[in-house]
Structure formats: C-alpha cells, structure tokens
C-alpha cells in the first residue's frame, strides 16, 4: 500500500515535469484548476484526513494551506472561492513541492511506526490512504484535462508534449453486440477499492438491446455537422438547443474550421483532424443529438455495465443516458469524506469506462463518473445502442 | 369528445371568473405566465394544431397571435420571449375572449361537418382534440400556481377567492406499507388518453421497501426547521445547499415567520399555518434534505407507481428520486406536438400523483410530471420511503 | 396656485383618457414606469409631503400605498423595488383614481382652511404644492415616453392616439449664430419656480463659438448611418462603442429598416420616416459620434443657455457636452425633497430645452434635465456648435 | 531623449526585480493587469508605434504579440479580451524580457542611424518616443497599484518589499488658503511634454473659495466611520449609496477591523493603521460623502490647478468634483495614439496631483488623471474646499 502511495505521488510529479513555472498558475474557468492547486490539494487530502487525525498534537505544515487547498468539504470549513484558485501567486511552486515532500515523509513515518498504532486505527488509516491514492489518480486525469483547457485559450497554442497526441484511435470493424433481456446484477461486488457510489450491488431488469463494439469516429461526427446537425432543433434536448443557439455553437470543443478543413487543439499542439480517429470532447447534448440523428440512442449505465465485457473500452468516457442518482441502500462514507460523491447526485449524467488519460489502476467497469450535461472538456466520446 | 371539449373550455373561463382585468396582465417570473397568456395559448393550440391543419385555406384569427401565443414549439416558428409575456397590453382581455369564442365555434363546426372529412383524418383530429383538452387541463392547474406566484409578491396580498383555501388536509394515522421485491410492470397500458412519456410499458426490478400512507405535515417540517434543518449542510445536495446559502433561505416558499408564528400566503389570503395540514410548496432539495434528516428517503417513480394502489393520493405532486428520462423505446409523438415532452428529458425530476388544483380527469397513476429541482411554486409535497 | 394644482391634476387624467385598463399595468424596463404607478406616485407626493405633514393626526389613505408609490426617497423608507412596479395587479386602476380624488379633495380643503394655518406654515405648503405641481408635470412627460417604450415592444404596435404624431417638425433654413467670448451670467435668477439644481446663479467665461439655429434632421442622420457611422470606432467614445458592438446597434431607437426604407414606431403607430422631420430618440453616444462625424461638437450647457435666446427651442431635449454637476454653492432643498436632484449628480449628462411632450409651463432656459448617456427613450435631439 | 528612454526602460526592470515568476502571471480583476502584461505592453507600444512604422520592411518580434499586448487600440486591431490577460502562461517571463531587450536594441539602433532619416520623420519619432516614455511611466505606477490589488486577495498577504510602506505621511498644521474670484488661465502652456487632454489652455471664471493645505488623515476618516458615515444615505450620491448597500461596505479598500483596531494591507504587508497618516484608496463616492459630512466640498479641477502653487502635493491623487470632459478646442493626437485619452471622456472623474508611486518626472499641475467614481485601488486621497 505504501509503495502504491509512493508510486502515485511520484507519478504526479512526473506528469508535471514538462511544465514551466508560469504554467502552474492560471485558472481559465471555474470548472478547471491550476496545476499548482492540484499539487497542493492532493497533498492536503492526506494531511487533513490522515495526519491531522491520527497524529497526536499534529501541527499543520502551514496554518492557511487548509483554506487554500480545501476543495468543497463544508465539514472542514472555509476555503478559497472556486474561481479564485488561479489568483494565488503564493505559495510558490517550489513551496508546494516542499509541502508535498514533507507530507509524504510524514505518511511514510506513520507507516513505519505502524506497530505503535492500534490495529483498528491502522486499518482506518489504510482505508483512507487508499482513498487518497485514488483521489490523486482522479486529479492526475484532471491535470491533463484542465491544462488542455487553460492552454487552448492561448493564441500561442502551447504544447505540453509532442508525444501527448492522445486523440488518436484506430477503429476496428463495427459490429452490433446483442444483449438478451432479463435480470442482471450491477454494482461493485469485489473486495478491492471502489467508491461509495458503486456500492449497493443490486439486480436490474433490462430490455433486449444491441450495442456497438466501437466508439463514434470523427468522420461520423463530421457527417452530422455537414448534414446540419447543429442547426436542426428537432435533434436536440431543449436545454442543449438553447446553448447551441445562444453561444452559436457549430463545432465540438477544441475544433476549428479553416477553409474546408477541420483542426483540433491537442496537448501536442494544433492538429488537422484525422477522420478515422475516435471523436472526443463531446458534451451530453451533442452525444444525444448525434444519436437522434442516427435514429439510435445512448446506453443506460446498466446496459453499459452489463455489455461492457463484450467490447474494448478505456479510450473515452462514454456518455450514458442515466442521470447520476444513488443506488439502492446507498450510504455515504462516514465523516468528511462522505462529501466525496453523494452530495453531487442531481443534475449530472453518468459516464462509464475511462479515458486515455485515466490512470490504468483507476478504471473499473462499475466506476460511475459524472458531469453536468454541458461539460465537454473531459475526453468524452459516444457509444451507440439500438433496441 | 366534443362535449368534453366544451366542458373543459368552459371550466377555464369559470376559474378566471373572479379575476379583475388588472390580474390578467403581469408575469412575475419567467417560469409563470399571465392569465391572459394562458387563455390565448390554450386557444392557439387548437387553432394551430387542428384548424390551420385540417381546414382548407384556413385564415388565422390574427396574423400575429401565433407569435404571441406559441410557447416553445421551434417547429412552428418565432415567438415572444418567455420573460416578455407580461409586457403585452394588447390584445385586450376582451379580445382574447373573442379569440376563444371564435376558435371554439370553428371547432364545433368542424365536428358538425364530420361527414365531409376522411375517417382517417377525422381520427387524427380527435386525437389532437383530446391532446388539446388535456393540454388545457394542465394550464388550468398552471393558472392557479402562476396566479399565486404573481399575487404573493404584492404587499396588498390579494385574495383570489375566500373559498380557495386548498392548503388544508386531514391526515389519518400513519402506517408503513410494505412492498416485496420483484419484477413489476410500469407505464401506461390502458386504452384511454396518456402522454407519450408514459408509454413504453415495461418491466422493472424493485428491491423490497416500505412507503408511508400519508404525506409529510406542516408540523413535521416545522420540526425540521427548528432542528436547524436549513443550517446543516450534511443534509443537503450540494446544489441545494448553494441555493440555501446564496439566497439565505430558511423557510418554504410562501411562508413567513412573525414573532414565533408561521404564516403562509394562500389564494384565500395570508393564513396562520395549521400544523396538521399537509406540507406544500416544497422543492426537491428541501424534500431530499427533509428525508435525510428523517434517515428515510424519497421513492423512485417506479416504487411510487407500484405502491400507489395502496394509498390515497392526489393532494400534492409528490417528488420522486427519479430523474425525468425516456422510457425504453420512447417515441415522441409525430409532428410539432412531439416537442411536448421529450425535449425536456434532462435536469428535471419526476413528480407523481397530482395536486389539489389538478383537474380530476387529468390524473393517472402512470402520469409523469416533471420540474427542475429548485421549483416549489407547484403544490408539491413529500412522501417517505424506507428500505 | 390651487387652480394651477387642479388644472395639472386634471391634465394627468386627460392624457390617460385614451388608455385601456390593460395599458396601465406593465413595466417593460427598470427605467420606465407603468401609467398606474405614475398616477399613484404623483398623488403620494402630495399626500406624503403635504397632508401627512401639515394635517394633525393625518390618517393615510392606505397604510401600504407609501411602500407602493415611493420612488426613491430613502428618508421616507422602504419601497417596491424599481423593477417590480409592473407586477402589482392591485390596487386596481379604479382604486388609484379614487386615491387621487381623495387626496385632491383634502388638498382643496386644506387651502379652504387656510385661515386656520400659521402664515409661515402656509407658505411652506404653497412651496411644496408648487414643487408637487412641477413634479407632476415631469411625470406627465414621463407618461408619454414610458408608454411609448412599453408599447413599442408589442408586435401589435398599439396606437395611443392617431393624433399623437409628435415626431414631425419643419426645419427652417439653417444658420450659424455667433456668440462672442466673455463672461456671462448663468443659472436661474427669477422669482418664479425653479429646481434647486438651477440655483446658484453665477458667472462663467465662454470662448467664442457659433451655434446652429436648427436641430439635426432625420436626413442628416440617415447620411451618417449610410456613411458607416455606426461602424467607425474613431467617431465614438469608448463606452458608446462597446454598446454599439455588444448590442449590434445600427439604427436609432424605435427605428426599423425594411427593404431600403426607414420606419419609426410612434405613439400614432409605425410610420415611414420623413427625412425633413427632426431627429429624435438619440442617446448621448450617438449625438457625440454624429457631431464628430460632422467635425462639429455639442454645446456645453452654458453655451446653450447663453445662446438660447437667439433660437427657437422646445421640440427636443438637446444633449449638451456637460456632465450633471452641482452649481457653485449648490444647496439641496431641506427635508426629504432634498433627494429630488442632488443625489443624482454623477455619471449623467445635462440636456437643455424641453421636448414636444413637455408641459409648456414646465420649460425654462435654465432648466437642467439629466440622463445617463445611453438613454434614448426621451424625445432627445442634437444641436451642433462650432468653434 | 535616448538616455531618458533607457533610464525609464531600466527603471521598469528595477521595480519588478523583487518579483518571483509566479507573481508575474495573475490578473485578479478586469481593471488591473499582470506584471508580465505591463512588461509586454509597454514594449509593444514602442514596437507598434515606432519600429513598425519607421523601419522599412520591419519584421515583428513575434506575429502574435500584437494580439497579446495591444490594450485598447481599435485602429490597430483584434486583441486579447481585457479580463483574459492573466490566463496566458506563454510567452514566459523570460521570453518577455528578451522581447524588451530586442525592441530596446532596435530603438537604440534607430537613433544611431538618425542621419539616414529625414529630419521631419525623425522629429515624429522623437515625439512618439517621448509619448512612449511617459506611457511607460504610467505603467510603472499601475504596476504598483495592480500588484497591490492582486496580492491583497491572497490570504498569505504577500510582501512586495518591506521598504515599500508608502502609506505614511506627516501632516503639517492645517491652514485654509483663500483664492479670490476672477478669471484664470488653465491648461498646459509650456514647451515640454504633456498629453493632448491638457491642451487648449483657456480662461475660466472662478468664484472665491478656500482650500486646505493638507490632505485628509486616517483619523479624520475613522471619525467619519465611527459617526455612522457609511450608514447615512443623506451624505451619499445615489449610485454610491447603492454600492455601499449592495456590497455592504463599511471600510475603505484594503482596510480590516479586528477587535477595535483598524489595519490596512500594504505592499510591505498588513499594518496597523496609523491615525496621523494620509488617508488613501478612497473612491469618489467616499470622498464626496466625507466632504458632505464635513459640510465642505471637493475642489473642481480648475480650482485645484489655480490653487496648487500654494500647497505641497504629490502624495495622493486628489479627487476633484469635475467630470472628465474635453477642453475647448480639444484635438485628439493624429493616428492611433489619438485613442489614448479622448475616447474615455465620459462617466469618469478628474483626479489632480500625483501619488507616492507616480514617477517624479511624470507629474505636472496641469495633468488630468481620470477614473470611474467607484475606483479606489489607486493611491487616491481627499483635499477639501470651502466657499
């Protein structure tokens, strides 16, 4: 466990290695965070939930870092407003790395003194450490998606790394996978780590359906665009149509059209769209409108979970038609970490699978990711279903 | 059918009878409409979907009424912006009543000439007339809820009618109704009228649960308030908590507290709250927080539908914990009326049952009402469930 | 004085005579008020500042009318929010007329009992009555401008009166009137009524300049439009240019262009623009840009006042290039009526003259009208000056 | 001239010397800019207005720096939106310094090749160079005020330099300076540098008045606060009162009250307020309300200019009661630099004098500084006048 902790902590530093100090600072929108904040917040998570709880008379690294690096835990207290994370010049990047190192050392020391801790308490520490590791993996993914968002507004189109062209993807031949109707078990039943929102394994009844083995490609979405997809209200949900009209949207996020060619901004720079690549950065409204245009539909999260063993997944977060709601007998985790998932169960849609920037160990067929339907800055894609 | 049409049209006039001309005009918020607009819009529905389609060379009553009275049908065209319905001094109330009469007469005439119409076409007319009748019943309910909202902002606290004290309700003894787990059929399977969103009758699997025979009373909610319910973040969904904090909410809609007494504005004037009456005008966030406080939960829409034959309902729209989503194999109605339901299937929650101001004939156990979770101006209430 | 009071009160009723009840209600923007509110507010002015002060144990007509009809007097207390004046269905129009009659009768009675009042107190009553009369005249003008604004949003283009085509005006031959440099006296020095903001008569030094005897015509402004006036940033003040860009403005308020013809909405309905008529409904930014385009400028308020005896004025409020600021030794009136003018002396521009809808007795060459520079719904026009 | 150029350019680098790279990036509000942007923009000014105009076939340092570093020159073209200056991670701080050096070298070279340039053209270059130098001095001042604003939001209260405690100021004994009425000359008449908005020297007539030799102290403003100054509507202009009410303001910018002590954030850190220091960071509304409370007033800009030779000034920008408007016969400078001053002549107030962070060579008694009345982040103060 401690090894996994150190590997994860190290990986965070590794993926930030190409950054210049300037890149650590800005926050271009409320829904993304600066790299410096991700560094500090993931560290604070271990300090707040483990060190400050299980070390007697623990003295915090800095009395104001809790205010700076708490994300949304009301039970812990006051914090920097969401949209002000990019205004903090201090602590410096260097100081935040020092903060990381200090906390890491104290966690290691805590484990080395394991024999001085009550077994039941140590078990709780392990549980929280595992949660913290998975929490940090989530932020590793957010690091990429947030950086991309921050960078794409810059007319200089900064390159994170020439090797980070992750928008590709070779599709195999398309095939429909039929799933018979019946009662199925869903939800996490294993013994490893999972989030509280996956628990409450339970039965559901599914109608018969078929699901595609492959995700939608850029070319398919270009066909939608060129068939007037963004101009045909009858394909859209009303709230999606309002956004399209008000913001005059006619292309997916990060796309540009010059002359008659399509381009997309990537972490490897601006690239001409390759038609065979897998479509990405699609919001729920676009996914749903595209499916309507095809006379098909998106899977529910349970259809996806049941069918998932029959296809390869892991390149895009796949929009489902399920709203993010509690499973039967859902229980929040006890304590402040109970604010992790449950309080967001309204007005969001479930995405299943994982994306090309999700850490491999942070991926399960029962994993329930969730975003508001207008969100496209994740590596989201579309898988289609027919009845 | 024609009789039902005339009865419904007449009832609309009847419920508006206590109004003064001044009352017909204002719109106090985007989500409510003025009585004059309801009068015009329900009439336009028959003109647009029946007369203009099935009468050859039909000449509209007024060339601009379509623009004024179209609500949200993109396939029909441009229209008054939602928030501007209360700014239109003309047409006068009198002219709108003339409009109603004229359209009614032409509908009657159309039916009297039934023998000159192809049977298949006449069947379509009947289907649309029935839809229009149910549409008008919906607006009869909205008339009450919208008027209440418009009136309550007036410091003079206008009275619609002394007899319209509908907030009452005598609770019988509370009892838990147990429902066994298993597969159940849900959705409308009858031969009468229903909306497209109720179709696609299908099987669902339900866990075992128990549901209360009675709705939450004012006294129970006062207990919640006085136990600090509006001040305990851990009871709330995050988006609900933000609203409570930003708007400094501490009481349900239409409630006031003077000295240590609670009052509520009703269409019969301001009244002291009676503790035994059924709680009303609760939004989803409040309903969910209240259930959390009780360590109970709201039913899903399918739990509600399956259990509903075991209890009396019809006094409040009852919040369910289900998001408003399409049923399996959902098909929008063909044509413009397809915009009626399907395009709203995101970011809203389902309410079941019906309320004290819902026309009796407009009530079914499969009926799926839907509102955004922050909406409280309907006669909404809370029914609780335990696992 | 009493006769003048009754004449003025009567005139208000007269100009509202063409209205239907529906017309009395809506408020289409924060900066305009409904006719019913104007009726009530002008009445409240006499009740609040005279009756409630000079009648012992005065019992107000209605305990909540103060809340409803106070405009902006902080020293008097809480009031309806500015933008909610159009949401009040009650008091009815009829009740407001009764309110007027009751207050008028009490004012008359107060004057008939003049001999029972201390002379010094009676003098104060007369002063306030005169202020109230002029206040009501201001609202008579606002009645027209506000009604026009409310009506123009209605696609039915309501007509207040066929005879109310006040946009006309035959220009005489243009001529430049030269004014020599030197010290001049400005400000009100007479013995009649004037507002506090005109007092502090004082000397100013003016440079030599010439001013046109005539106002700018529609044709001249059409020339500006067709020369790209709305598209040339260099003609505009920065804040004006932002508005033009953000709201995509290319025509004056109330104008439309169909095919290649210009139309304007008037209180007599939609009319084709007559090129020889005097331009109206121009905001300060437009006036300033137009003057720049002509290589001329607007007069200062003192240039206007000094030159005004040499030309005819009274058809349009004429924008000056002077900000609305206090005169030397400016003193607010004592008491609540001190809130009438002084507190608005920032961010507004002075207009001089008066307009075609200003009551004749409410017009002086020293009168200082003031509006924010983006305001065009008054009957504003442009007079040009050269050095 | 070239020497002055190099001195000025060098001083900019000097004052930024205490910064860390992180400090160069954020922009905490639309009205302030990041240090990196100030560095780039002042450099771009010389590149755009001199190098690109007077060097044949000039090839710009970077094709997109014009877009990044243009502030508000419409005649030059598209640019980064005002509020997005803090989102640009690139160019790096280092690259911007390289940009500075490159442009500086080219300016020096241009001057060394003076003999190859037409004298009339060289004169124009000198004029623009001088404008650029003064432009850079303005940005040196803005550097301090903007940095202070960015820093003060940080709960760590960063210190720019312990030596930068510029809020102090020892008042001498107060004395009234009487100025007789009469005609006076105002405006810049010298032969040195001045801005276009100071030109048009002209006569004005002033009433008799007296002006204080000293600025208002912290103690005097504390007396205002403790006498309820922020709670007495009658002291305030209406727009100021709205701000005070809506934002619940009760202290000047950068002030805090802990227990019963007042503190202020300074570039040398948080300090206890010293009562004898000169008040600073006051907006126009506060200045005007304070003067009202004293039964005194602010000077007009001409009163200030005429009286200024009789008192010491230069510690605070002093609010005048004059709106920022063109002088008689005002002419914008030709070309794009004409956008420098003239287009802002509406809705702003004139400040005279200069502040403790204004470069000494950038200070004249005829200098007209201007800000919107709600702006307090400059080192603004109050000087009082009586009639």
Tell me the backbone φ, ψ of residue B381, rounded to 5 degrees: -140, -170
Same domain, D145 and D277: no
Q: What is the pLDDT of residues B58-75, one digit of tens each?
A: 999 999 999 999 998 988
How confident is the model at residue D61, as a pLDDT? Answer: 97
Encode burial over A316-345: b for 16+ CB neighbours within 10 A, e otherwise: bbbbbbbbbbbbbebebbeebbbbbbbbbb
Whether A22 and A32 have beta carbons less than 8 Å apart is answered as no
Whether B149 and B86 have beta carbons less than 8 Å apart is answered as no
Coil vs helix vs strand at B386: strand
Render A185-225 in DSSP notation, one character per residue: EES--SSS---GGG-S-EEEEE--EEEESSPPBHHHHHHHH
Q: What is the pLDDT of residues A24-74, one digit of tens each?
A: 999 999 999 999 999 999 999 999 999 999 999 999 999 999 999 999 898
How confident is the model at residue C378, as a pLDDT? Answer: 98
Q: What angle do CA C192, C194, C197 make, to 5 degrees?
A: 150
The tokens for A181 are 């109707």
How confident is the model at residue C170, as a pLDDT? Answer: 66
CB pairs under 8 A between C and D: 81
How confident is the model at residue B359, as a pLDDT? Answer: 96
Residue B158 to residue C26, Cβ atoms within 8 A: no
Q: Does C237 touch chain D (CB under 8 A)?
A: yes
Q: Calculate helix-pair angle for B35-46, B119-152, nearest 10 degrees.
A: 170
Q: What is the tally of structural domains in chain A?
A: 2
Same domain, B140 and B67: yes
Looking at D117, D152, D187, which one is the last position of a domain?
A: D152
> Could you tell me if residue B168 is inside a domain?
no
Q: Does A48 touch chain D (CB under 8 A)?
A: no
Do the two chains C and A touch, given a threshold of 8 Å on CB pairs and at least 3 pairs? no
Q: What is the pLDDT of residues D21-74, one digit of tens each?
A: 999 999 999 999 999 999 999 999 999 999 999 999 999 999 999 999 999 898
Can you give the pTM of this predicted structure?
0.95
Average pLDDT over residues C294-315: 97
Question: For residue D155, which residues of chain A lie inside 8 Å, CB to CB?
Answer: 64, 67-68, 80
Question: For residue C203, which residues of chain D lie inside 8 Å, CB to CB?
Answer: 205, 207
How confident is the model at residue C171, as a pLDDT? Answer: 64
Same domain, D145 and D181: no
Greatest alpha-carbon span in chain B: 69
- How far apart CA A117 and CA A124 sit, in angstroms, is 11
Whether C130 and C5 have beta carbons less than 8 Å apart is answered as no
Task: Out of D205, D237, D387, name the one closest to residue C346 (CB).
Answer: D237
> Could you tell me if residue A161 is inside a domain?
no
pLDDT band at A310 (very low <50, low <70, confident <90, very high): very high
Task: Out of B84, B93, B158, name the one closest to residue C89 (CB).
Answer: B158
Same domain, C198 and C336: yes
Q: Is the pLDDT of residue A170 over 70?
A: no
Average pLDDT over residues A293-308: 98
Task: Out of B25, B68, B151, name the one closest to residue C22 (CB).
Answer: B25
How confident is the model at residue B171, as a pLDDT? Answer: 64
Residue C238 to residue D344, Cβ atoms within 8 A: yes
Q: Is the pLDDT of residue A164 over 90?
A: no
How confident is the model at residue D172, as a pLDDT? Answer: 78
User: Beta C176-179 vs C209-212: how paired, if at all?
Assistant: antiparallel
Q: What is the CATH number of the domain that holds C119?
A: 1.20.120
Coil vs helix vs strand at C375: coil
Query: Distances in Å between the alpha carbon of A6 and those of A2, A104, A132, A336?
Result: 6, 8, 12, 24
The tokens for C132 are 């109230």
Same domain, A327 and A226: yes
Q: What is the CATH number of the domain that holds B234?
A: 3.90.1580.10
pLDDT band at A166 (very low <50, low <70, confident <90, very high): confident
Q: Which of C20, C22, C23 to substitute to test the interface with B, most B CBs within 10 Å?
A: C22
Q: Is the pLDDT of residue A340 over 90?
A: no
pLDDT band at B340 (very low <50, low <70, confident <90, very high): confident
Residue B74 to residue A183, Cβ atoms within 8 A: no
Task: Out of A237, A338, A346, name the one closest to residue B237 (CB).
Answer: A346
Looking at C152, C185, C203, which one is the last position of a domain?
A: C152
Query: Distances in Å between the alpha carbon of D371 and those of C91, C372, D133, D345?
Result: 45, 17, 21, 10
- How far apart CA D293 and CA D285 sit, in angstroms, is 12
How confident is the model at residue C367, as a pLDDT? Answer: 97
What lies within 8 Å, CB to CB, of A364 at 6+ separation is A188, A194, A198
Same domain, A118 and A213: no
Same domain, A190 and A104: no
Average pLDDT over residues A124-144: 97
The tokens for A310 are 């029959």
How confident is the model at residue C36, as a pLDDT? Answer: 98
Dihedral sign from CA coordinates of B12, B13, B15, B19: positive
What lies within 8 Å, CB to CB, of A207 at 6+ separation is A181, A387, B202, B203, B328, B329
Whether D147 and D23 have beta carbons less than 8 Å apart is answered as yes
The C-alpha of D17 sits at a distance from chain A's nearest C-alpha, in angstroms, of: 16
User: Beta A176-179 vs A209-212: how paired, if at all?
Assistant: antiparallel
Q: Does A154 touch chain D (CB under 8 A)?
A: yes
Same domain, D194 and D327: yes
CB pairs under 8 A between A and D: 83
> Could you tell me if residue D26 is inside a domain?
yes
First to last CA, chain D: 45
Dihedral sign from CA coordinates of A136, A142, A148, A149: negative
Average pLDDT over residues A160-172: 82
Question: For residue D23, which residues of chain A lie inside 8 Å, CB to CB?
Answer: 89
Q: Is the pLDDT of residue B219 over 80?
A: yes
Residue with tokens 């006068």: B92
How confident is the model at residue D171, as a pLDDT? Answer: 64
Cβ neighbour number for residue A215 with a 10 Å cutoff: 22
Encode burial over D6-28: b for 16+ CB neighbours within 10 A, e otherwise: eebbeebeebbeebebbbbbbbb
Q: Is the pLDDT of residue A315 over 70?
A: yes
> Could you tell me if residue D162 is inside a domain?
no
HEC string of chain D equals CHHHHHHHHHHHHHHHCCCCHHHHCCCCCCCCCCHHHHHHHHHHHHHHHHHHHHCCCCCCCCCCHHHHHCCCCCCCCCCCCHHHHHHCCCCCHHHHHHHHHHHHHHHHHHHHCHHHCCHHHHHHHHHHHHHHHHHHHHHHHHHHHHHHHHHHCCCCCCCCCCCCCCCCCCCCCCCEEEECCEEEEECCCCCCCCCHHHCCCEEEEECCEEEECCCCEHHHHHHHHHCCHHHCHHHCCHHHHHHHHHCCCCCCCCEEEECCEEEEEECCEEEECCCCCECCCCCHHHHHHHHHHCCCECCCHHHHHHHHHHCCCCCCEEEEEEECCCCCCCCCCCCHHHHCCHHHCCCCEEEEECCCCCCHHHCCCCCCEEECCCCCCCCEECCCEEC
Average pLDDT over residues A311-335: 95
How confident is the model at residue B336, as a pLDDT? Answer: 87
CB pairs under 8 A between B and C: 84
Same domain, A96 and A184: no
The tokens for C108 are 């008359």
Same domain, D127 and D181: no
> Could you tell me if residue C202 is inside a domain?
yes
Nearest of A94, A92, A106 to residue A61 by alpha carbon: A106
Same domain, A244 and A378: yes
Residue with tokens 């009040």: C88
Residue C346 to residue D322, Cβ atoms within 8 A: no
Q: Which residues of chain D have pLDDT under 70?
A: 170-171
How confident is the model at residue C337, as a pLDDT? Answer: 86
The tokens for A152 are 């794409």
Cβ neighbour number for residue C383 with a 10 Å cutoff: 26
> Could you tell me if residue D168 is inside a domain?
no
DSSP B24: G
What lies within 8 Å, CB to CB, of C61 at 6+ separation is C47, C99, C102, C103
Do the two chains B and D touch, given a threshold of 8 Å on CB pairs and at least 3 pairs? no
Same domain, B142 and B246: no
How confident is the model at residue C115, as a pLDDT? Answer: 92
Q: Which residues span the domain enclosing C25?
A: 2-152
Q: What is the pLDDT of residues C104-155, one digit of tens each?
A: 999 999 999 999 999 999 999 999 999 999 999 999 999 999 999 999 999 9
User: Beta D202-206 vs D182-186: how paired, if at all?
Assistant: antiparallel
> Could you tell me if residue C165 is inside a domain?
no
How confident is the model at residue D266, as a pLDDT? Answer: 96
The tokens for A324 are 């993010």
Average pLDDT over residues C9-20: 97
Residue with tokens 């309700």: B169
Q: Does A245 touch chain B (CB under 8 A)?
A: no
Q: What is the dihedral of CA C222, C223, C226, C228, to 10 degrees?
A: -110
Q: Does B346 touch chain A (CB under 8 A)?
A: yes
Q: Calculate helix-pair angle for C35-46, C2-16, nearest 10 degrees.
A: 170
Q: Is the pLDDT of residue B151 over 70?
A: yes
> Could you tell me if residue B165 is inside a domain?
no
């Amino acid at each position: 466990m401690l090894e996994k902790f150190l590997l994860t902590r190290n990986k965070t530093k590794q993926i930030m290695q190409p950054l210049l100090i300037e890149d650590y600072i800005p926050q271009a929108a409320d829904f993304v965070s600066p790299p410096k904040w991700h560094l500090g917040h993931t560290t604070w998570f271990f300090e707040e939930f483990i060190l400050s709880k299980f070390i007697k008379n623990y003295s915090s690294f800095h009395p104001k870092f809790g205010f700076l690096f708490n994300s949304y835990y009301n039970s812990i207290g006051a914090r920097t407003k969401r949209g002000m994370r990019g205004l903090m010049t201090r602590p410096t990047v260097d100081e935040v790395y020092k903060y990381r190192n200090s906390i890491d050392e104290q966690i290691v020391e805590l484990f080395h003194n394991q024999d001085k801790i009550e077994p039941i308490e140590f078990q709780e520490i392990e549980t929280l450490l595992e949660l913290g590791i998975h929490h940090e993996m989530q932020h590793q993914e957010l690091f990429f998606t947030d950086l991309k968002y921050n960078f794409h507004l810059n007319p200089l189109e900064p390159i994170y790394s020439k090797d980070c062209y992750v928008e590709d993807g070779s599709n195999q031949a398309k095939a429909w996978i039929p799933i018979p109707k019946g009662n199925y078990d869903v939800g996490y039943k294993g013994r490893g780590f999972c989030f509280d929102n996956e628990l409450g394994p339970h039965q559901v009844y599914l109608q018969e359906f078929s699901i595609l083995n492959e995700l939608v490609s850029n070319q398919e979405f270009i066909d939608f665009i060129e068939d007037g997809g963004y101009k045909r209200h009858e394909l859209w949900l009303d709230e999606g149509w309002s956004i399209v009209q008000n913001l005059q949207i006619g292309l997916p996020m990060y796309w540009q059209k010059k002359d008659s060619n399509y381009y997309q901004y990537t972490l490897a720079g601006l690239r001409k769209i390759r038609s065979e690549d897998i479509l990405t950065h699609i919001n729920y409204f676009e996914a749903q409108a595209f499916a309507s245009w095809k006379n098909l539909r998106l899977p529910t999260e349970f259809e996806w979970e049941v069918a998932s063993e029959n296809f390869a997944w892991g390149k895009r977060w796949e929009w489902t038609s399920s709203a993010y709601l509690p499973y039967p007998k859902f229980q929040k985790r006890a304590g402040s970490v109970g604010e992790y998932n449950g309080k967001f169960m309204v007005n969001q849609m479930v995405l299943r699978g994982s994306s090309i920037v999700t850490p491999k160990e942070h991926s399960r067929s029962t994993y329930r990711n969730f975003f508001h339907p207008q969100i496209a800055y994740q590596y989201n894609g579309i898988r289609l279903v027919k009845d």
